[in-house]
Amino acid sequence: MAMTGVVKDELSRLPVLKPCCRKAEVSTLLRFASGLHLVSGRIVIEAELDTNVTARRLIKDIGEVFGHKAEVLVLAPAGLRKGSRYLVRVYRDGEALARQTGLIDNHGRPVRGLPRQVVAGATCDAEAAWRGAFLAHGSLTEPGRSMSLEVTCPGPEAALALVGSARRLKIHAKAREVRGVDRVVVRDGDAIGALLTRLGAHDSVLAWEDRRMRREFRATANRLANFDDANLRRSARAAVAAGARVQRALEILGEEAPEHLVIAGRLRVEHKQASLEELGQLADPPLTKDAIAGRIRRLLAMADKRAQDVGIPNTEANLTVDMLSP
C-alpha cells in the first residue's frame, strides 16, 4: 500500500476522545472535502472522500458530536479515477451542521478559511485540524530526493490557516499555488516525521522512517561507490600519464641520468597502473612513497631542463588527450 493510504488508514482508526478535537477534525475535514449546495432552498453538505473507513469515521463523528444523521453514497471509478469514492451527505440538517462546524457564518455566508474555534483553539485542535485536512485531501510521497507531505486546499485562506496551525505545532509548512490549485507542503524529512507523530500516525511514522533510512543508506552507498570509482580512474590515468613522461625523460637524458633516478623511473614505466606506495615497495631496498615521488619528480625536472637547453620537445610530448582528460 502507498504511504498515503497507510497514513489515512491509521488516522481513520485513531480513537479521539476530547470533544474539542473531534469538532476541530470534523470541521476541517468538511471544509477541505465538502461542498455546500442549495437544494430546494435548503443547504446540503456533501463531502467526497477516498476511503470507506474515513467516510465511516466522519458519519460517526457527525452523529455523536453534532447530533445529525449523515448518509454515504459510493461513487464507482470513472475516467482518471481508478478507485471508488465515498460521498458523505447531510441533507436534512445541513444548515445546522454548517453553522456548528463554521462552514457558514451567522449571516449564512460561506467561511473561506478555517472556523474561528479551530484557528484560536488549543494545540490539540491544531493537530486535529491537520488530521482532518490530511484525511480530506492529503498525500505523502515515498522518502527520497523530492519527498513531501502535501494537502490540497479549497482556497488561499484555508491554506494560510493550515500553515498557521502547523506553525503552532513547531512545523515549517509552506503555502503555494500550483496550476491554480492552493496547496500546503511540508518537505523536510524530519518535519514530516514530527508532523505525522503529532497527528497520531505512529505506525506509519515507523514505516516511513524505515523506508527513508533505507533510501538514504542506498544513496550514500551509491555516492561512495561512484566517488571511489572516479578516484580510481583518476589515479590510474595520472599513473599512466606519469609513466609516459618518465619514458620521455629517460629518452632525453640517456646515460646522463643518475642511476637512482633511473631506477625509480624504470619502476614507473614498468608498472604504470601501480600507486607510488606500491612502487616504493617494489624498489630494492624498499622506498617510502615520498622518496619514490621525489626521485621521479627530480628526473622529470632534469629532463625538462635538458630539453629546453637543447631545444627539443620536453617530457609532456608523449601525453595524449585521454591522459589529460579529467
Long-range contacts of 157-161 (CB under 8 A, 24+ apart): 157/112, 157/113, 158/31, 158/32, 158/112, 158/113, 158/114, 158/182, 159/183, 159/184, 160/113, 161/113, 161/114, 161/118, 161/119
pLDDT of residue 162: 93
- Beta sheet of 149-153, edge-to-edge order: 138-140, 149-153, 181-186, 174-178
pLDDT classification of 208: cutoffs 50, 70, 90: confident
Q: Which residues pair with 153 in a beta bridge?
A: 182
Cα 117 to the center of its chain, rounded Å: 34
Interatomic CA distance for residues 67 and 291, integer angstroms: 89
Phi/psi for 24 (5° steps) reads -65, -40
> Which alpha helices (DSSP H) does the chain contain, by range?
3-12, 19-33, 52-61, 94-100, 116-119, 123-137, 156-168, 189-199, 202-253, 259-270, 276-282, 289-310, 321-324
pLDDT classification of 116: cutoffs 50, 70, 90: confident
pLDDT classification of 186: cutoffs 50, 70, 90: very high
pLDDT classification of 260: cutoffs 50, 70, 90: confident
Residue 49, burial from CB neighbour count under 10 angstroms (0-12, 13-18, 19+): buried
Q: What is the reported pTM?
A: 0.65
pLDDT of residue 226: 60
